Structure 1
């Protein structure tokens, strides 16, 4: 078992490997496989195979610099989407105890304790005071 592991390590030396774009392509591939199991179309089969080939090509590529640039471009698009959804999930989890308001001056999102009524809030980023109304 150790000899096979050493051969794989030696083979993968100098190759790019797996990154966030690989995992995103993997999720897309599984979603397409799930859809393809219900709706049998040749387009989905071709698309699934193309994604799988792309995943293997990227993982075994020796051009590390280009793969890193591809991953950075993907992350530049993905991170804002991810942050919006994580904030939405956090808002839903804390709906019983906190409210989120945006600062009127610097547009920072503030997490406020849920106390009904009008309050004066000091923004930690721009240090300005503004009034908020928490109704529910």
Structure 2
């Protein structure tokens, strides 16, 4: 059965970022339509889901790749911001992150070392902080 699915999907575009977004928007819209009167969200949701499946099974790979690249270009700043915040959250568990008072360079200090003197690698300013 798996081989049949693999053969069926050969030459087709498959699941990418834009298709995942469309499915998510479609599902949220359909669920939202249960709580809001009117059929607008219901139809928008199903159109988004159907279009995402059309994209997944499409054999016009170049056109789908251009559409996906357009989406990735438009969401680049948002995705970088989210990745940066996620990285900061993981680092904040094991490190304190301070800014140098003179040059505003971010400096990472390991937690649990008590009061330590920190020397900025960029400008050489020394200051005392709790870790």
Taking structure 1 as the reference length, what is the TM-score of the superposition? 0.67
In structure 1, stretches of 5+ residues that fail to align are 123-127
Residue matched to 1:49: 46
1:118–1:131 contact (8 Å) kept in structure 2: no
Name the SS of the counterpart of 2:67 in structure 1.
helix
Residue matched to 2:119: 120
Indicate yes or no: 2:127 matched with 1:129: no
Report how many residues are paired.
127
Q: CA RMSD in A?
A: 3.3
Looking at structure 2, the residues matched to 73 and 101 of structure 1 have their Cα atoms a distance apart, in angstroms, of 37
Inter-CA distance 95–10: structure 2 relative to 1 (3 Å threshold):
closer
Looking at structure 2, the residues matched to 27 and 40 of structure 1 have their Cα atoms a distance apart, in angstroms, of 21
Instruction: For residue 58 of structure 1, report the CA deviation from its aligned partner.
Output: 0.8
Looking at structure 1, the residues matched to 125 and 84 of structure 2 have their Cα atoms a distance apart, in angstroms, of 23
C-alpha distance after superposition, 1:54-84 (max 9, x if no partner) = 1122112121011111111212233432232
Aligned structure 1 segments of 4 or more residues deviating by more than 6 angstroms? 102-105
Q: Give the 5 Å matches for 1:62-81.
A: 62-81=59-78
Looking at structure 2, the residues matched to 108 and 25 of structure 1 have their Cα atoms a distance apart, in angstroms, of 40
Indicate yes or no: 2:19 matched with 1:16: no
In structure 2, stretches of 5+ residues that fail to align are none
Residue matched to 1:32: 29
C-alpha distance after superposition, 1:26-66 (max 9, x if no partner) = 12122212222222331101211210221122112121011
